[in-house]
Every structure is written in structure tokens, then in C-alpha cells.
Structure 1
Amino acid sequence: MCNHQTTSRADTVGSFLRPERLKEAREQFAQGTISRQELSAVEDEEILKLIDKQKEAGLTVVSDGEFRRSYWHLDFFWGFEGVEHVNMGQGYLFHGEETRDDSARLSGKIRFTAEHPFLAHFRFLKENAGEGIEARQSIPAPAQLYAELVRGVNEEKVNEIYPDRKVLFADISHAYHEAILAFYELGCRDLKLDDCTWGMLCDKNFWATMAGANYNVEDLKETYLKLNNDALKDLPADLKLSTHVCRGNYHSTWASSGGYEPVAEVLFGKENVDSFFLEFDDERSGGFEPLRFVSGNKKVVLGLITSKHPELEAKEQIKARIREASQFVPLDRLYLSPQCGFASTEEGNKLTEQQQWDKVRLISDIAAEVWSDRKEGCS
């Protein structure tokens, strides 16, 4: 039997450059010259435009571009009870740049609350995605929250509130589990965990630094795996779960380097997701050999198109790399996307909106050509 429908192999990680009108509105809100309601109205209008642009570019899974967020991760953390917004005095250090100094720190026990603002964000996206279009919810991984809570002086609060780390791990995973179920109740059937923790463990310099700070890398891998997998236990069977493993993406710069080999056996073999979004846009990402550890029928979304720079990749070179990756994961389990979002923070990467959409259309064109003769649901 065959349903004669071709599943789109073109995808994105989810964040898009903020339109100037939205940037201006966010600045006006910060200055107190417009209300939250007025800012939300601008966000709504710009997200509706973005949904249309994604569909016009050939995407069948859409996001809200993270237009309501300042950061890809911190805004979600701040929505939990027991987590507060603080300023560290120093931002995240990237290759040649430093971010703003916002962070998330414990103020009490971690709890999910039905007032988490991301629920309303998803409801709007779901209601406006349109017929036959999947609305994807992206959130930072549980492991990422843990990494933030023990970052620098933040760890002092962890030691005070959770002297037993096992209780902390259980509370993080439980809060996430409840959040995911709340998204599901709103109609979410495609949820992605964005996760830089594994990418950092791929970097030899990071390993050396963490080892010097009395962290055991092997223990960290098991901790990250348990945090994520415990949050993903006993979820509805029709909920698609994916994770995006990143090495940092801020204003077209990066935070870590190294191939996936150091984490591949644990991450690709044991994390309970259906798909992996992986960064392969330059030599820092290493080769495709670690994909041999991808277990079962899990899918891999190859991040071969860079979101950091405006130059368009050559189609034939990307096709050749897809063929190379198919030596380790069959072509019918591969997809194509940028290596990361276009704006992991509201600053965005160094390219124009037109160049961003040229990249997305290139992905759609290549995917259509590579997988044009492959029909889903055929036997």
C-alpha cells in the first residue's frame, strides 16, 4: 500500500531573525513606553507573518521563531517556580564575543506551574499553524537547566536548597515531564529539546576545564542522560520527540568545538528521542562516523547549511555530504536543516532576513531533489 504523500525532508531548528518592528517594540516595552499587551499584539502579528513565510518556503513543520523570547533557553527556565532571573556580571563566552549576563538561579524548590507563559505561546502557534502543518514546540533540555543552575556562583543556591543532588535531579525531570504533558494537552505532537550540554562535552578544552574543577566527564554524561530520559518517561506514543545538539550560536560566533565521538555512544544510543538535529556545517563539527551509534530507527537531521553566514552553500557539495552521511544512517532516516537557528538570542546572526530565507529555500530545494523519488508509507 502507498499513500503517495512525500514527507518533507526540509527542516529548521526553529529560531528566526527578529523583524525590526519587533525589535523596536521590545525596546519600547523595556523603556516602559508601551504595555505588555501592546508588545504581545506586535508579537502576534509578526508570528502570523512568519508562519506564512515558513509555509511559502516549503516547510511542513513550523515554529513561532522564538519571537517572544530573549534567549533560546533562559526564558523557559524563568517560567518554573523556584527559578529566578539574575544577572551574573559576566555573560557566556563565545569565540570573540561575550553575551549579556543574564542567568537562571534557584530561589526555591523547582516546580512546574500551569501559568508558565510558554503554554500560551504554543496555544497561539497551534491555533494559527494551519491545516496539515505541524506546530513544533522547542524548549531547552533538562540537562541544560541543570548546567545553568550549577554555573559559577549559581551553584551556591543549589547546595543550599538541594543538599542532595538526587532530589534536585528528580525535581527537574518531574517539572519537565509535567510541562511536556501540558504542551501535549494543548495539541503539541512535536517537541524538541535544545541541548548544548553534549556539545560542550565534545570539546577537549571544556573537558580539561571541568576536570580541573573536580567534575568527572563520564559522570556528567550519565547525569545529563538521566535528567533528559527521566523527563521523557511514559509520554504519549504519538508525541514526536527530538533533540538538537548544539555547540553554541550567538551573533554568528560559537562556543565549543569537536566531533560527536566522545558522547555518541551514550547520546545516540541511549537518549529516548526519535530524532537528532546535529551540527555539521564546518570542520569544527567533525565527521559523520559517530552516527554509527544512532540506535533503532531513529532519524538524523543533518545541519549542513550554516545559519551563521550569508553565503549560500553549493547544492552538489551538500548532496555529496548527505550521501556520505548515508553510509552510517540510511537515507530514508535522514533530513536536512541549518546547523542551528538564525537567532538563538534576540540579537540574531549576521545575515539579513532575505539571506535567511534564501537559506531556507535552498534547504527545501535540496531536500526535494535528494528525496524526490522516495514516498513515505509505501511497501
Structure 2
Amino acid sequence: MPLLHLQPPFRAEHLGSLRRPAYLLEKRAQFDSGEISRDELRPAEEKAIQEIVQLQKELGLKAVTDGEFTRHMFFDGVFNNLDGFEHIPDVPLERFMDYVPDTAGFKELNFKKADSYMCKSKIKRTKSFYRAEFEYTKSLLPSEKHKDIKLTICAPEWFHLRHGPYAYPLDVYKTDEEYFADISRAYREEIAELYSLGCRNIQFDDPLLAYFCSEKMLAGMKEAGVDSERLLQLYINVYNDCLEGRPADMNVGVHLCRGNFKARSQHSGGRHFSEGGYDRIAVKLFNELNVDCYYLEYDTERAGTFEPLKHLPKHKTVVLGLVTSKFPQLEDPEEMKQRVHSAAEIISHGVESRTKAEAFHQICISPQCGFASHSLGNEVTDEDMANKLKLVVKVAGELWSDA
């Protein structure tokens, strides 16, 4: 049976962020406190990236990332480099919307202040977002492997959802559409540059789309007078505008999860922020969002069932996040295989009918999220992370021996 997709994603994937070694965390802490310069931090970053790229090769992963080792948070890169945005170290908490699950979670943890990037003037891209990350990873691989580098990038609506009516000054932009027109233009410029450098695989990290599955957020929006359906449609339109004109051989995926935050007060793994299956957004997600693949959290019951996958079109791929990155316990490989077959069965009887064999070849597997959405990482060790990724590679190899 020929594969339906010859480009990434690969059968065994990981979601971008990987655990930082202790020496890098130490150097980053020194940099954050002003003890060392960026130039003094860089050698530790490069050493760590070299090691993590080698580990991915040894584990048998075809898609390679730099582990996000030059970032503090997974969403770094875009808004801290865009003209028109300003870093505000102490944003009043009322400017974070209570209905957004992660901001509500931070408030529950009694955060007294929060920093953010706020729009202050017209938005314009005057420098690259991710060029340096991609170029350094590319330097560590032979030319024939450059197409396998996966670059994770920030969701375009990141600060818009969390700040609501405070997302931009009304004397700068009169409407959401005006605001996002400039953001979309910046993304198109970035994607064009990345493509010119050899990038062929990008992954938007977007827990916000999964938040639209949360009954709690939808209720909070309604109470605040926010039209959640309009907002979801707006965000899908923004993505499509960002991707307008992108080359046909550039694979674009979007990763949805429900939070992976390691709170200082918690010692039992990463915190999730929302719950709810993909049923509420599946039709729009799979049919209106112009991406090639979907990296979906499916490690716990809070992500719902596979039923929404019946809306997956024949020409797209789903990467099932069956392995948790929050806890060290290994999943049962036979149960993972059974779940893949269950998903294929549902896809085969979907809105677009197809054979189970065809549906089976639209599926890949991965952990449900990265292992370090922020620099401190999750409650797993380096060995735990390697074992989780080995499991994904092993199960994928046994399921798709012809891949």
C-alpha cells in the first residue's frame, strides 16, 4: 500500500521541545539575572543543540528539531521580534482574560504580576523570527537531511486571545481584521524566508485552538459578551491568510494540546489548563484550516474520543499524541497499537469514506506535547524522555513496517 504522504510528518514524531541539560539551565539563569551576556550564553546553547540533535538521530527520529534550546517559552520568536510589540514586565492582571484557561490557571496559582508582549504601534516585520534557529540546526546535518528539520513556531493569535479588548490600542487598529492583516503579512514574509533557506516543515504550536473545546471557556466568553464562534472563525481565517501562497512542498502542521505547564507549587507533573474533546471544532479544524497535518493530544480522557476524526479529509494527516510527556511511566505498546487501529476504523467510516488501510496510512504517532514547553521542563528525567521517544519509534516501526 503506497503512502498517502511522502513529506513529513513521519510515522514517529516528537513535538519540538526537549529537556534542557543542567549546564544550559544554569547558564540561562545567569543570563536572565544579567551575570553573563548573550554571547557568553551561546556556546552552552550550541553544545546542547549538538547533543540533542545527535540523540534524535540515535533514537531513529527522522524529524529533527533544536529542542527549542534558545527559547525560554515555546512561543518565543515572533512577538518579541515584531516591530509594534513591546515587552511589558508588569501587565495588570485585569488585562488577562479570565475566560482563557491558562491565564485563569495562573491567577489561581496567585501570580501577583505577569509579563507579556503588548501591541503599542503598527506591526511590521523588520527582522527574522527563526532564521538563526533553523540555520544552526541545518549546519549540524548533511544537506539531504535539511528537509527533515522541523521548526516549531508561535500561533499568530497568541496574545490576542489572552488580552481580549486590550490586545491592541484602538487608535492604532480599529478592528481585529486590521490588526491581524499586519500579523499575517509578517508570517507570510517569515515563511517565505524560511523556505528560501531550505525549511520544508513547520509546526504551529497552538493550545488556544483546543481551548475552544472547553465548556468552561465558552461559558466564560458568553458571560463576557464574546462571540466564541466568530472568534474561532477569525483565527482560522488568520491562519489561512498567514499561509496564503506558501509553497506546495512545505509541510505545515498545527499542534493542539490543553496545557503542559510545570507549576512551582506542583510536584506531580505538568499542569493542564482545559478539558474537552475536539468535537466542537472538528469540522472547521479539519476542513477549513489550510494545513497538512494535525498533532493532537490524546494521552488522557480529557481530550475526548477519536470520533471527531471522522471529519478528517483524505488528503490530510493526523499525528496521534498517545504518549504523555508529563509523567515517566511508559505506555503499553499493545494498547497504543490498538488505539491506532481504532482511530483508523473511525476515519475509514468518516464523512469521506475510505478503506481502513487508507485511513491507517493517514496516521502517525507522537507524545502528546513537548517535554519542556518552558525551559524548566516537566517532571521527567532525560532517561524518561529518551525511553518515551524510543517507545514511539518502536511502536511506529511495528505498525508501519512498510514506511
TM over 0.5: yes
1:294-351: CA deviations, max 9, x gaps?
1231000000000011100011111111111111331101001000001111121111
Q: Cα offset for 1:269?
A: 1.1
CA contact 1:18–1:67 (8 Å) conserved in 2:
yes
Where do 4+ consecutive residues of structure 1 move more than 6 Å? none
**Residue 349 of structure 1 corresponds to which residue in structure 2?**
378
Instruction: State the partner residue of 1:140.
Output: 154
- Could you tell me how far apart the structure 2 residues matched to 1:276 and 1:158 are? 33
Opposite residue 154 of structure 2, the aligned amino acid is P
- Corresponding position of 1:71: 73
Task: Supply the distance in 2 between the matched residues of 1:73 and 1:98 (Cα, whole angstroms).
Answer: 23
Output the amino acid matched with 2:292.
D
How much does 1:130 deviate? Answer: 3.3
Which letter maps to 2:286?
F
Give the corresponding residue for 2:119.
106
Distance in 1 of aligned mates of 2:310 and 2:246: 27
Q: Which residue of 2 aligns with 1:277?
A: 295
Give the distance between the partners of 1:130 and 1:364, measured in 2 at CA. Answer: 22
Deviations 1:110-154 (A, max 9, x none): 11123x352111111122133543111110122324324x347x3
For the structure 1 residues 98 and 176, does the alpha-carbon distance in structure 2 shift closer, same or farther, using more than 3 Å as the test?
farther
Quick one: which amino acid aligns to residue 309 of structure 1?
Answer: F
Counterpart of 1:259 in structure 2 is 277
Aligned to 1:226: 237
Structure 2 Cα separation of the partners of residues 367 and 250 of structure 1: 27
Query: What number of residue pairs does the alignment pair up?
Result: 369
When residues 184 and 366 of structure 1 are mapped into structure 2, their CA distance, relative to the original with a 3 A threshold, is same
The residue that corresponds to 1:314 in the other structure is 332
Cα deviation for residue 35 of structure 1 reads 1.8
The letter for the 2-side match of 1:39 is L
**Which residues of 2 match residues 189-204 of structure 1 at below 5 A?**
189-204=200-215
C-alpha contact (below 8 Å) 1:144/1:196 kept by paired residues: no
Q: 1:97 to 1:360 in 2, by over 3 A?
A: farther
In the TM superposition, 1:166-205 aligns within 5 A as: 166-205=177-216
Contact 1:342 1:349 in 2 (8 A): yes
Letter of the 1:159 counterpart: L
1:45 is matched with 47
* Corresponding residue number in structure 2 for 1:25: 27
Normalising by structure 2, we get a TM-score of 0.87
CA–CA distance in 2 between the matches of 1:191 and 1:370?
A: 25
Q: Distance in 1 between matches of 2:314 and 2:398?
A: 26
Deviations 1:235-270, CA, capped at 9 Å, x for gaps? 111111111012111111111110000000001111
Same amino acid, percent of matched pairs: 36
- How far did residue 164 of structure 1 move? 2.6
**Structure 2 Cα separation of the partners of residues 319 and 131 of structure 1:** 34
Deviation at 1:101?
2.3
For 1:213 and 1:367, how far apart are their aligned partners in 2? 45
For 1:236, what is the secondary structure of its paired residue?
Answer: coil
Change over 3 Å in CA distance of 1:89–1:58 after alignment to 2: farther
1:161 counterpart SS class? coil
Q: Letter of the 1:343 partner, please give it.
A: A
For the structure 1 residues 158 and 265, does the alpha-carbon distance in structure 2 shift closer, same or farther, using more than 3 Å as the test?
A: farther
When residues 106 and 333 of structure 1 are mapped into structure 2, their CA distance, relative to the original with a 3 A threshold, is same
After superposition, give the CA deviation of every residue in 1:141-191 in whole Å (9 maximum; x if it has no partner): 22324324x347x33x43332123221121111111111111111111101
Distance change >3 Å, CA 369–CA 2, structure 1 → 2: closer
SS in 2 for 1:242: strand
Instruction: Give the alignment's TM-score, normalised by structure 1.
Output: 0.92
Contact in 2 for aligned 1:47/1:67 (Cα 8 Å): yes
What is the identity, as a one-letter code, of the residue corresponding to 2:372?
A: A
Distance of 1:145 and 1:132 partners within structure 2: 37
Structure 1: stretches of 5+ with no match in the other structure: none
Q: Structure 1 residues 292, 107: CA separation in 2 closer, same or farther (over 3 Å shift)?
A: same
CA RMSD after TM alignment? 2.2
**Does structure 2 conserve the Cα–Cα contact (< 8 Å) formed by 1:257 and 1:284?**
yes
Give deviations 1:51-93, integer Å, cap 9, x for gaps: 0001111101111111111111144321111112223355834
Q: Which whole-Å CA distance do the structure 2 matches of 1:74 and 1:147 have between them?
A: 16
CA contact (8 A) 1:92 1:98 kept: no
The letter for the 2-side match of 1:174 is R
Ranges in structure 2 where 5+ consecutive residues have no aligned partner: 94-101, 263-269, 348-358
How is 1:151-162 mapped onto 2 (pairs within 5 angstroms)? 151=164, 154-155=166-167, 157-162=168-173
CA–CA distance in structure 1, aligned partners of residues 47 and 370 of structure 2: 21
